[in-house]
Chains A and B, each alone.
Chain A
Amino acid sequence: MSYIVDRRLNSKNKSAVNRQRFLHRYRKHIKKAVADAVDGRSITDMDRGEEVVIPGDDISEPTFQHGSGGERSHVHPGNKEFVAGDQIKRPGGGGGSGTGQASNQGEGMDEFVFQLSSEEFLEFLFNDLELPNLTKRQLKGNASFKYERAGFSSDGVPAKLSVSRSVIQAKARRIALTAEPKRLLEAVQEKILEAQRLGDEVGYARYLQEALQLERRIKRIPFIDTNDLRYKLHQKRPLPTSQAVMFCLMDVSGSMDQPIKDMAKRFYLLLYMFLQRHYERTEVVFIRHHTVAKEVDEQEFFYSRETGGTVVSSALELMADVVDERYSPDEWNIYAAQASDGDNWNDDSPRCTKLLTERLLPLVQYFAYVEITQRDHQALWREYQGLANQYPDVFAQRHIRQLADIFPVFHDLFHRRSAA
């Protein structure tokens, strides 16, 4: 006698808890592997898993075991030419005493290798980072509503008719409306019997007539009436969603060569992935500028070449315009990242400061400026330094010299500040 049970529909990930425990226990190793991976691999494929290697020593579960040495015997299959009494050289070369070789043997010394899933990878990557100034986290997005049941109503479309409610309603109405005639009917019926017993022919006929009338009255009450119909009521409830827009501002003047743009791109990608993890909706606006600024698509942003001078304020102005036009600060969390090699027209820098203080910084959650250059700090850096001191909460600037700096800088910018 057997029972056959289909368990395929049972929930997945029964081992998820144990897996999490394991990851937690070895988070130090995993973090290191993730950090190494960030240095090593191109950021475009950042959201895939990673192989993590943990030294066998750290992960072994020790038990009492015999070490090597002493006398031991083994039986093996597949004998070919041995006969009893044969002397065989020890495999591995080490002859003689044997007591010396006890150290580097034993099981569980192998490295333990496993695959981190892409989700876990990002989790570890952004683990101790947070977005500053998440003030407008809960916001009404215009597109997201949720329909919720909100009881019943007496009108609606036929598709939402609640049959059971309607029938209950009808039943109640019928009970209420038939109560009176039914009671009268009962009385009349008694009188009929009474008349019958007394032989009162006239009374009998009159009561019978009355009873018939009452029965007709009861019958006239409809089984279901339009008044009885009840409809399921749904209400549209706006869902609080969080949305963010990220402005990527980049200088594309002649001095910005491809390697510098590449580094900027990596920085933007990191920021984008990070924002995506925090907001349900993330939009990106690319603004590039030389002497004039222009909003472009991603392809053009990163790859088209331009030459010419540099007027940073043009980009800031455009950004302010775009914000006014499309991204009301009431509804959007606004982040901006500006990448540049630091060149700017000298006259323009004070104008940038003015633009930022007056128009942009009040609107944005965070404005990060990264200067990508091998040289010393440029004009823009010095100009911005004042801003960074003045608005430490919303404005930050960092210097990137080479590829390997990108993640540390990113990490530094978004490092979780201890609760003040």
Chain B
Amino acid sequence: MAASARSVESSSFLSQGSDWNFDLIERYDLALGRLAASYGLDTYPNQIEIIRSDQMMDAYSSVGMPIGYSHWSFGKHFVDVERSYQRGQMGLAYEIVINSDPCIAYLMEENSITMQALVIAHACYGHNSFFKGNYLFRTWTDASAIVDYLVFAKGYIAQCEERHGVLEVEQLLDGCHALMNYGVDRYKRPHPISPEAERLRQAERADYVQRNLNTLWRTLPDSKKVVDTQNKVVFPSEPQENLLYFIEKNAPLLEPWQREVVRIVRKMAQYFYPQRQTQVMNEGWATFWHYTLLNGLYDQKLVDDAFMIEFLTSHTAVLFQPSFDHPGYSGINPYALGFAMFSDIRRMCERPTDEDREWFPQLVDTDWREALDTAMRNFKDESFILQYLSPKVMRDLKLFGIVDDDAQEHLEVAAIHDAGGYRRVRELLASQYNLGDREPNIQIVEVDTQGDRSLLLRHTRHARRPMGSTTDAVLEHLQRLWGFPVRLDSV
């Protein structure tokens, strides 16, 4: 007993071997937390939860949230994940982390202590600080309220199912889910969601909306009055891009509880909106920090070589970027791109080349921690790439841009990683991450308040791209929500 105690004391390593226990996790967390603080990472408190692999699958299928309302699509997701996992086609992610305060991170019990440390560094300090710092998350999500709101949403929807039947609620949710990407405010900060206030205001709001609606629809066509085509009041007065919000507030036939369900889906969409725009940055940031922090532990002689080898194996596997002609290629790996860019920012601050002095004079010879912090706080994927993608990263990844114009017979290589092409490649890559380009631009332009109450949507084409084959199905959903005919004009 005494001998073994001494041997642990004599080595400075936090752990030996691959088994983990709660004591070890606590020690690693403490060491990593100290290190992270010394780098100036500002985080929410962490709540580290150890779970089994089947619980991880549960978490997966509920889009990572600890609790959610019931819907068949989550079940579909679940059986899909379960099947691929059981067949060994897919490993489960090592971690899931939730943008909440405290920040909840899941650790799987099957992982070795090395992996647990990696996950703690990645999720509890990397992602966590990103959630707390990035402007999109600060503006659009309310970390302290989300879990409570989810509890409210689950309870409310369960209640609706009891009162109005599972099928009814399911159809409503199907419709809302189809329009989920069009349920976000892009320019206006939403009111913070506080579940208590939510519950209190809910009845009041339902009442108010219903009353307001009546004002809008009260005007029966007056046969005596000559319709004044010149001064016809167009409703809505300006085009609306938040389709779900418009439905919630203006759909004539929805019951109050249905409006509330639309609202819940809208709130969820809003909550996930920043995540969809910061994939590269978020993962890159977290990867950069687990790499930096674990190397920091190694430098302090807190972990041994075996630890580092296991860590690096998994680190490089995550960062693997197959080239475009590789059979496993499925687009750009956000981990690889993000990590390369953040590492490169640090490199440009510390060891700039002449090229960097020319391209990024504002970074050269500044404190890399500050430079990184600024980049993390003030950008989303699109602007981050536009601002920080350096020629060196483009060369390392051998990026090239292809333009596919259906008016031309051939695809054209627009630009490659050479002096003449850096800016073009960078622009093309940035636009690839622009949600506005990726999703069709659809807005509500007019409701025929005097006639058949039909809803007119306008699709503004970007680069002559037509709507996809699923459009009709979505319009059907929209029509069910709106209650009257829906038309889509593509211009």
Contact = CB atoms under 8 A, between A and B. Distances in A.
Interface of A: 1-8, 10, 12-15, 17-25, 59-80, 82-90, 95-99, 102-103, 105-106, 108, 112-115
A113 B399 contact: no
Contact of B467 (A10, A60, A66): A66
Contacts of B375: none
A15 B474 contact: no
A85 B413 contact: yes
A234 B243 CA distance: 65
B416 A83 contact: yes
B332 interface: yes
B467 A65 contact: yes
A4 B181 CA distance: 35
A114 B77 CA distance: 10
A75 B416 contact: no
Given A64-B467, A73-B404, A95-B409, 16 more contacts: A4-B50, A5-B50, A22-B73, A61-B177, A65-B470, A66-B467, A69-B466, A71-B407, A72-B403, A73-B401, A75-B332, A75-B400, A78-B325, A79-B324, A86-B413, A89-B411
A84 B413 contact: yes
A87 B75 contact: no
A6 B21 CA distance: 11
A82 B329 CA distance: 18
A76 B399 contact: yes
23 contacts: A2-B124, A8-B52, A14-B62, A15-B62, A19-B75, A21-B71, A21-B166, A63-B179, A64-B470, A64-B474, A66-B439, A68-B406, A73-B402, A73-B403, A73-B404, A76-B402, A78-B397, A82-B413, A86-B412, A88-B411, A95-B409, A106-B470, A114-B79
B407 A3 contact: no
Interface string B387-431: 000000000011111111111011111111110110001001101
A77 B406 contact: no
Contacts of B25: 4
A5 B477 contact: no
Interface string B23-65: 0011001000100000000000111111110110110011000
Contacts of A85: 412-413
Interface of B: 22, 25-26, 29, 33, 45-52, 54-55, 57-58, 61-62, 70-76, 78-80, 82-83, 86, 102, 106, 109, 124, 166, 170, 174, 177-182, 321-326, 329, 332, 397-407, 409-418, 420-421, 425, 428-429, 431-432, 438-440, 442, 461-471, 473-474, 477
B182 A64 contact: yes
Given A8-B51, A64-B442, A66-B466, A3 B45 contact: yes
Contacts of A114: 79-80, 82-83
Contact of A75 (B401, B405, B474): B401
Nearest to B325: A78
Contacts of A17: 70, 75
Given A18-B61, A75-B425, A88 B402 contact: yes
Given A2-B124, A8-B52, A67 B467 contact: yes
A249 B475 CA distance: 61
Contacts of A86: 412-413
A88 B50 contact: no
Contacts of A25: 72, 170
Contacts of B415: 84
B55 A3 contact: no
Q: Secondary structure of the A side of the interface?
A: loop
B322 A78 contact: yes
B431 A73 contact: yes
A60 B26 CA distance: 44
Contacts of B461: 70
Nearest to A1: B45
B83 A72 contact: no
Nearest to A14: B58
A115 B416 contact: no
Contacts of A15: 57-58, 61-62, 74-75, 78
A166 B58 CA distance: 49
A2 B413 contact: no
A342 to B, nearest CB: 46
Given A64-B442, A71-B463, A112-B80, A2 B404 contact: no
Contacts of A90: 404, 409-411
Contacts of A78: 321-326, 329, 397-398
Contacts of B464: 69-71
B411 A18 contact: no
B471 A64 contact: yes
Contacts of B429: 75
Given A75-B432, A76-B402, A98-B407, A83 B413 contact: yes
A99 B406 CA distance: 7
Nearest to B397: A77
A88 B399 CA distance: 16
A237 B116 CA distance: 52
B50 A8 contact: yes
Given A84-B416, A88-B410, A77 B466 contact: no
A76 B411 CA distance: 13
A112 B78 CA distance: 12
Given A88-B402, A88-B413, A115-B82, A21 B72 contact: yes
Given A25-B72, A84-B416, A67 B402 contact: no
The interface centre, meaning the residue of A12, A60, A66 with most chain B CB atoms within 10 A of its CB, is A66
A363 B78 CA distance: 48
Given A4-B50, A75-B429, A87 B182 contact: no
The interface centre, meaning the residue of B54, B86, B469 with most chain A CB atoms within 10 A of its CB, is B469
Contact of B74 (A6, A8, A18, A74): A18
Contacts of B469: 65, 67, 102-103, 105-106
B468 A65 contact: yes
B411 A77 contact: no
Would you list the 4 A-B pairs with minimal beta carbon distance, nearest first?
A78-B323, A98-B406, A22-B75, A70-B465
A88 B462 CA distance: 24
Contacts of B401: 73-75
Nearest to B182: A64
Nearest to A21: B72
A29 to B, nearest CB: 12
Contact of A19 (B79, B410, B414): B79
